[in-house]
């Protein structure tokens, strides 16, 4: 029965850490975004994030989106720069139609930094895409 469960490969969904100005607090912040480049809406999206290394582990953070429209993006969370010393994992599950999809995105330790920023066309801001 377990062999009958098929979870298809996820394409056209990306995760990015974006460096942007916060008008409210007048600071430059790092924020995590999910990007849907598909031509269909994604529903019941759950994102579980955690930072980790050999000696440290952060608590789990969970975020739910009822719907991420086609060709759109959503800000998921603020991320503190101190966490860039750790590996950061984002496990994403969602329904596309009636099919469950899941994918894990990684930002490896010390890879998120200002020198690595590039323009992310979908968001129109500078950031780093996950592996």
The string of pLDDT tens digits covering residues 100-127 is 999 999 999 999 999 999 999 999 999 9
> Domain containing 53: what range?
13-129
64 in a structural domain: yes
Question: Is 123 inside any structural domain?
Answer: yes
Mean pLDDT for the stretch of residues 26-38: 96
Cβ-count burial 61-75 (b if 16+ within 10 Å, e if not): eebebeebeeeebbe
Q: Is the pLDDT of residue 31 over 90?
A: yes
Percent of the chain residues topping a pLDDT of 70:
98
Gap between the terminal Cα atoms of the chain:
31
- Judged against a pLDDT cut of 80, whether residue 6 lies above it is answered with no
CATH number at residue 49: 2.60.40.1600
Q: Is residue 3 part of a domain?
A: no
> How many domains is the chain built from?
1
Residue 70 lies in a domain: yes
Can you tell me the mean pLDDT for 66-72? 98
**Encoded tokens for 117:** 């920023």
| Residue 110: inside a domain | yes
Instruction: Give the pLDDT of residue 52.
Output: 97
Is 6 within a domain?
no
The answer to whether residue 46 is domain-embedded is yes
pLDDT of residue 2: 66
pLDDT band at 42 (very low <50, low <70, confident <90, very high): very high
User: Which phi-psi region, left, alpha or beta, contains residue 30 (left: φ > 0; alpha: ψ -120 to 50)?
Assistant: beta
In this structure, are residues 131 and 108 in contact, taking their beta carbons and an 8 Å threshold? yes
Per-residue model confidence (pLDDT) at position 1: 62
pLDDT at 7 (0 to 100): 72
């Amino acid at each position: 029965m377990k062999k009958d469960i098929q979870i298809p490969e996820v394409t056209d969904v990306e995760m990015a850490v974006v460096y942007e100005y916060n008008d409210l607090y007048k600071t430059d912040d790092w924020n995590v975004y999910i990007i849907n480049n598909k031509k269909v809406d994604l529903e019941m999206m759950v994102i579980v994030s955690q930072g980790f290394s050999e000696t440290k582990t952060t608590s789990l953070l969970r975020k739910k989106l009822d719907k991420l429209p086609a060709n759109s993006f959503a800000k998921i969370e603020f991320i503190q720069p101190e966490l860039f010393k750790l590996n950061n994992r984002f496990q994403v599950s969602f329904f596309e139609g009636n099919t469950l999809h899941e994918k894990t995105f990684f930002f490896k330790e010390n890879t998120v930094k200002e020198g690595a920023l590039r323009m992310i066309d979908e968001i129109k801001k500078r950031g780093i895409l996950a592996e």
